[in-house]
Structure 1
Amino acid sequence: MENLTYNNRLNKVFQLLIEISRGNFSYRLERTDKQDELEALSAIVNIVAEEIKDSFLHQGYVNMHDSYMHLVQMIFFLDKNFRMVYINQDVTKLLHWKKIELLDLPLVNLLEKESIKKWVNFTKALKSDQAFEKNMRLVFRTKSDLQLPAYCKIVNLPQKGYSTPSYMLISSDIVRNTEIQERKLQSKILKQIRRPRPKHLIEEKSFLNVSDLETFRAIGTYLKNNLDKNAPSLKELAHEFGTNEYKLKRGFKELFGMTVFQFLKNERLRNAHIWVKGSNEPFKRIARQNGFKNATHFSREFKARYGYTPRDLRANS
Structure 2
Amino acid sequence: MLLFDDHELQDKTFSTFLTDDSKLAWNGLKSKLAKINIDAQEEFILLSFRTKQKLILTTNCLVSKFIDKVNQSERVVITSIEIIKNSTERETELRKTVSSGKNQNKIASLSSNVTKSKQLNLSFADIRKIRKIHDHIINNLDKPLSPLIELAHTFGTNEFKLKYGFKQLYGQTVFRFLINERLRKASVLIQHTDTSIKEVAHVTGFISAPHFSKAFKEKYGYTPRDLRKRSNNDDYL
Aligned mates of 1:145, 1:37 — CA distance in 2: 12
Task: Say if 2:194 is the partner of 1:280.
Answer: yes
Q: Which runs of 4+ in 1 moved over 2 A?
A: 36-45, 47-50, 143-147, 194-200
Q: Summarize the alignment of residues 1-317 of structure 1 with structure 2, pairs less than 5 Å apart.
A: 38=36, 42-44=41-43, 48=63, 140-144=69-73, 195-197=95-97, 199=102, 200=106, 201=110, 202-205=113-116, 206-207=119-120, 208-317=122-231
Measured against aligned partners, the alpha-carbon deviations of 1:149-195 in whole angstroms (never above 9, x if no partner) come to xxxxxxxxxxxxxxxxxxxxxxxxxxxxxxxxxxxxxxx8xx96x94
* TM-score computed with the length of structure 1 as normaliser: 0.43
CA spacing shift, 1:294–1:49, aligned 2, 3 Å: farther
CA spacing shift, 1:294–1:140, aligned 2, 3 Å: farther
- Can you give the 5+ residue segments of structure 2 that lack an aligned partner in the other structure? 1-10, 15-33, 45-61, 77-87, 232-237
Q: Could you tell me how far 1:280 is from its partner in structure 2? A: 1.4
Task: Work out which structure has the larger RCO, using CA pairs closer than 8 Å and 6 or more positions apart in sequence.
Answer: 1
Q: Could you tell me how far 1:276 is from its partner in structure 2? A: 1.1
Aligned mates of 2:169, 2:74 — CA distance in 1: 29
Q: Could you tell me how far 1:42 is from its partner in structure 2? A: 2.6
Q: Could you tell me how far 1:49 is from its partner in structure 2? A: 5.7
RMSD: 3.6
Aligned mates of 1:39, 1:250 — CA distance in 2: 34
Residue identity over aligned pairs, in percent, reads 42
Q: Tell me which protein shows more helix as a share of its residues.
A: 2
Q: Could you tell me how far 1:146 is from its partner in structure 2? A: 5.8
CA spacing shift, 1:44–1:271, aligned 2, 3 Å: farther
- Can you give the 5+ residue segments of structure 1 that lack an aligned partner in the other structure? 1-17, 22-35, 51-111, 113-138, 148-187
CA spacing shift, 1:145–1:195, aligned 2, 3 Å: closer
Aligned mates of 2:168, 2:75 — CA distance in 1: 29
Counterpart of 2:145, as a letter, is A
Q: Could you tell me how far 1:204 is from its partner in structure 2? A: 1.8
Q: Could you tell me how far 1:292 is from its partner in structure 2? A: 0.1
CA spacing shift, 1:248–1:143, aligned 2, 3 Å: closer
Aligned mates of 1:233, 1:299 — CA distance in 2: 24
Q: Could you tell me how far 1:143 is from its partner in structure 2? A: 4.0
Counterpart of 2:196, as a letter, is P
Aligned mates of 2:229, 2:145 — CA distance in 1: 31
**Count of paired positions:** 156
* TM-score computed with the length of structure 2 as normaliser: 0.56
CA spacing shift, 1:213–1:196, aligned 2, 3 Å: same
